[in-house]
Every structure is written in structure tokens, then in C-alpha cells.
Amino acid sequence: MGLKAGIVGLPNVGKSTLFNAVSNSAKAQASNYRFCTIEPNVGLVDVPDNRLNKLAELVVPDRIVPTQIEIVDIAGLVRGASKGEGLGNKFLANIREVDAIIHVIRCFEDENVLREEGAINPVGDKEIIDTELQLKDLETVEKKIQRIEKQAKAGDVKAKTELEVLLKCKNHLEQGKSIRGLDLNSAELDLIQDSFFLTGKKVLYVANVDEASMHTGNKYSQALMDAVKDEDADVIIMNNSIEAQISEMEEPDDKALFMEEYKMTEPALDRLIHSTYHLLGLQTYFTAGVQEVRAWTFHKGWKAPQCAGVIHTDFEKGFIKAEVIGYDDYVTYKTEAAARDNGKLRIEGKEYMVKDGDVMHFRFNV
């Protein structure tokens, strides 16, 4: 589906280390100096899902294919980026291309890791990036208002409505607030969709802590959590270096022993990936056959034809019906045939809203 989440933050907060840990298709260079990341690194990340593994145990397919999201490691931002400081314009352009933001914030002390902003201050670091994105959005909205005003004065009804929404956005931004916190209805959001506001994107915060704080957090991560409690955003507490080490281990036994040593039941990365997946409003359905058991990504609220189109556009164009077995029913009866014999295989039409975990087979004709 081409959905992207961008990793952002000030220089030397652990962005590239996090990217290396989550990405299974690309490795970013992690170094202790500014702008180590210039061109954004891109990696496809598997979404961990125990349901996929369980279905594979039952079906025993030739291959197992997890669903994925795209993670982009973007150059570190500095104060003044909205005015072109550092790699400002390039950084902001790269953010504009992603669907959600993973904001990495330094919540640890280490004199060996460079820091240009003085004492460790996660709330201040967050506000630096918020301010730069808000200033860029303000520049965007002011330019658009100038253009739309002419159309509105000429009597264009749609332009008048759009102008009202843009003026709301301008006022909100001038108060130092982000667009995602502005209470707009779906119609108003549609009117400003083509503005691609940076502060309109959903955000997941990663508090990068030291080893001693990876389970409990610390005063820095707590300050961050307090600062974002009204933002409808998740905060993941993790040690990026530990997660990177875990991700590099190929043997499951080695990984299990390492996590046991650090009293971990699962990598924090799994929580991060799941949170990012849900942040984007995504869910999963499955196809299950002897050739492959596969997870497919769709937007929550999509109907059967749209979900069929994720596999191939012809499936959506020629959609007839969908054969559906709920995940729990499939696990209970263990085979498609047994689920059908027990009345758990349903035939659904074009109006069926697909549920997370559905096991599906599409009938189509092109």
C-alpha cells in the first residue's frame, strides 16, 4: 500500500540506530556527528503477528509472507530548519512524504554522545521540532490563503469554505499548536488534504533511555509522557542500542538468551512496530493456502472490494463475493473444510466491512 512512517529527531538522539534495529532490508550509517544521515534511508519492516504463525502451523504452506510497513530514516533537524538551517528544507520535504512520524527523543545522559542543545531536556527537544514544523506549516497556510482569497472574493463557494478552514489552521498555528490537535470534521479535513501539513501527521514518541531505565523509564521519559498526555499519542520507552543488538542476532536461541539476560519478554521493537501500524489506522486480513499463508494490510473501515484490491486491482474491479472465516473460528476448526462444515465460512458481498484477522478468499471475474 506504500504507507510510510518517518523517523525524526534532533541530531544524535538514536534515530539511525533505531532504523537499523527495525529495518530488515536496509542499514543506516550510525555515527556520532551531525547530519550523518543526509539522504533518507528506507527499509521495509515486517509487522510481527503471531496469528500468521498460527495459521502457518495449521496450513503448512510452502512459504509465509508477513505484511510490511515502510520506515524512513530522515536527517536530524536543528533549530532554524524552517528557515533553511542545517538540512532544513530537505528534512522538511522528506517529512512531507511520510504518513506518520516516529519522533525519537533523547532521554539518557552520556558525555560521549554529542549534544548541541545543552543539558538533557526531552520536552525542550520535542518543542524545537514542533516549532520548526509549525513555522513551516504557517508559511504553507499563508501562501495558500493568499491564493484562495482571490477565488473566494470572486464568489467561488468552495473557495470560501476552504478559506474559513485555512484561517482556522492559521490561528491555531500562530498559537504554537499543531494541526493534528485542531478539531476539524471530516469535510474540513478533506478541504486541506492537499496542503500536506507537517503537523497534521500522527506522531509516535520513542523515549530512548539508558539500560538502567529500559523497563521503568526515568525522569526524562516521565517528563516527556507528561508533556504529551493530551496529544492522543503513544510513548514507547526503549534502549535503541539494545534493540539493535537483538535485531542483529540470527539464531532464535541466542536472541532468547540475550532477552532473558535483560529480563525482556519481547523486543520493544515489536511494540513500536505494532504501535506504528495502528497509528496509521491499519489492520490485517489473511489468505491461507498450501502455496502461501500471507498477511495483507488494509485501512480500518474498508469494505471487501477495497481489500481485494490490495492483492490486485483486478480483484477489486471484478469483485463478486468474498469467502470469509474469522481467525478464531479457523483456529478452532483447524481447516477451511472443517470451518465450512460447521457453518463458519461466510459468503459476503460488496458492503461487507472487513474485520481485523479475517481469513479471506475472493471470487472475481474480469
Strand positions, DSSP E, 26-145: 41-46, 63-65, 68-73, 100-107
208 is known to lie in a ligand binding site: no
Q: In 3D, which of 120, 76, 104, 94 has the Cα closest to residue 272?
A: 104
313 is known to lie in a ligand binding site: no
Q: How far apart are the first and last CA of the chain?
A: 22
3-class secondary-structure state, position 159? helix
Dihedral of CA atoms 300, 304, 309, 310 in degrees, nearest 10, equals 40
- The H or E element containing residue 238 is strand 235-238
13 is known to lie in a ligand binding site: yes
90 is known to lie in a ligand binding site: no
Query: For residue 298, what are the β-bridge partners?
Result: 283
16 is known to lie in a ligand binding site: yes
Sign of CA dihedral 89, 90, 96, 101: negative
Strands 100-107 and 4-8: parallel
C-alpha cell at 185: 470534521
3-class secondary-structure state, position 167? helix
Contacts for 327 with CB less than 8 Å, ≥ 6 apart = 51, 55, 286, 357, 358, 359
Q: How many helices (H) and strands (E) does the chain have?
A: 14, 12
Alpha-carbon separation of residue 126 from 116, 130, 227, 228 (angstroms): 14, 6, 9, 10
239 is known to lie in a ligand binding site: no
Contacts for 142 with CB less than 8 Å, ≥ 6 apart = 170
Q: In 3D, which of 360, 356, 330 has the Cα closest to residue 342?
A: 330
C-alpha cell at 259: 532477552
**Binding site residue list:** 12-17
Residue numbers in the known binding site for ATP are 12-17
